Structure 1
Amino acid sequence: MEPALLYFHRRGLERAMREDALLHLQEDADRSDPSSQLRAAVVFVDLSSFTSLAEAMGDDAAAEVLDRYGRLVREAVGRNDGRVVKQIGDGFLLLFPKPHDALTCAFTIEARAAAESQFTAVRSGIHWGPVLYREGDYLGTTVNVASRLVDAAARHQVLVTEAVRKEVGSVPGVVFVPLGKRHLRGLSGEVELFEAVAGKSQRAWERPVDPVCGMELQVEEVAARLLVDGTERSFCSQDCLRRFVAAPERYVQPGSTGSV
């Protein structure tokens, strides 16, 4: 190589090594030594109705949604100094050195997904704390808590812990709505939760939701409507309407309004 090319090659290699050192612990690190633990913001994000969508729309349509979703997640992570650790179905495990970047990424994913046509809602859970890197994966209580947070989150919701709220501090335009302490499945004790809301952006997507496939619909995407107990239900297709009429009790939950 020419000297200049060697220089830039070396600089690129050094940068990659620094990033890897930051985001990965050495395999032979002492597991009992707290100093060997990496502190990071762990984010789990998934599609809230993907199973219903796949069942109603078929594998091809579900795969197309999953492909779009995967692209927007990876783009948002790349722009916020994060890393995609792994993807399992519609769920992503993401890692960030700074909780502020993790929160910004979650808001970005939410906003972009909500702006997509013929798409379902996303939800996120974020926790901050020590994690261990072992055999290609991240382990520990921080990861477990973040995983349970996304399970507890509603459509469009970004749930965070007190640790995240404290570490992030005051952020212009962001409100942390206290939700109290809750028991999360698989965890002992209670976890104090907050919903992170970016101004009014997360409340702006008042679109009807197809009760069968879970897809959020623009006005022009509504193929059929049905009045059920005084509430109008919207459907993306005649097929979803037929499924609903055949078994409405399967799709209507008490108190649901038919919109986001």
Structure 2
Amino acid sequence: MGDGLTIEQLARYTGEPEQRLRDWQELGVLNASRDGLVPPDEVDRVRLVQLLLRRGIDLEEIAKRRRNGTLEWLEDWPFRETSGALYALAEAAEIVGMELSTLQRFREAFSPSGPEDYVTEEEIGLLRAWKTAALAGVPDEAMVEMIRVYIDSLDRVAEAEQRLYRFYVYRRLEAEAQSPEELIERAKAATDQLTPIIEPIVLYFHRRGLIRAVREDIVMELAEQTGLVPRAETAADLRMAVVFIDLSSFTPRAEAMGDVAAAAVLERFSSFVRSSSAAWTGRVVKQIGDAFMLVFTDARSAVACSLEIESRAAKEPQFPAVRAGIHWGTVLYREGDYVGSNVNV
């Protein structure tokens, strides 16, 4: 399919009129076409411009920032998808050796950031991984579920990485820099230092979590085989203790304390919940404000953990009472979460 997009394709993929895109090219907001084509990542650049415009930043300011290098970090970002050959869906399906309908299902689950009717070189690698998983016996519906978990979890990781960089690194550099040029140079140097450590850190915590999950599965499997617990009726059924725990009347108390003080209380409570649940081999499934959902493979650990959290919180001067609800039973595992009537009780 080639190594680039025509201006007509770029317009169709981004929803912007062709003439407007040409105007943006003339202003220097977008890259100029070469031999009638722009690189595939120009789609991302258009989306950035669209977002800036929606936030009230005009084209002149965007062009100025691009000229002085303020937006250069996005173009040089090492984790951007590299430019390369583009493949029509049918062509990609033939290259990988899978049915077109299967490829389309993958694309729907993947929610690609680029145009929906072509596949990039990097996505070809993902499609091959999908096929490898299928050959190993993983059904399509399980792969779709896994992809959704990857997307949701790693989107959150990436957001935290960027937000914390902006809050604690970029803001400090912005205050210290004597000129925009110095800010750009120092921010780039900080990014160059931090970027190489991101993927090793993610890999470490993934490996640690995987070891823990394998250990838990070995125990659950042996418990079923020895008759300690009944075998699950379906593949995704698990016998778990579910805990919902939060701070009583935290919302009105937070309003009285103010956001900063309330955030400090919440941070302290979060540390109690996470350390105690880890000590009692539990897992934090989700957090919404001051409320946590935890799961345990046995009810005794769930009760002990809840009592420990309550005891630790009771020693804190500004903490309201801790509330906990615990239920044991069969739950259904779906997309990294636990659902079913025993969760809703």
- TM-score class normalised by the smaller sequence: 0.3 to 0.5
Q: Which has the higher contact order (CA 8 A, sep 6+)?
A: 1
Q: Pick the structure with more helix per residue.
A: 2
Q: Pick the structure with more strand per residue.
A: 1
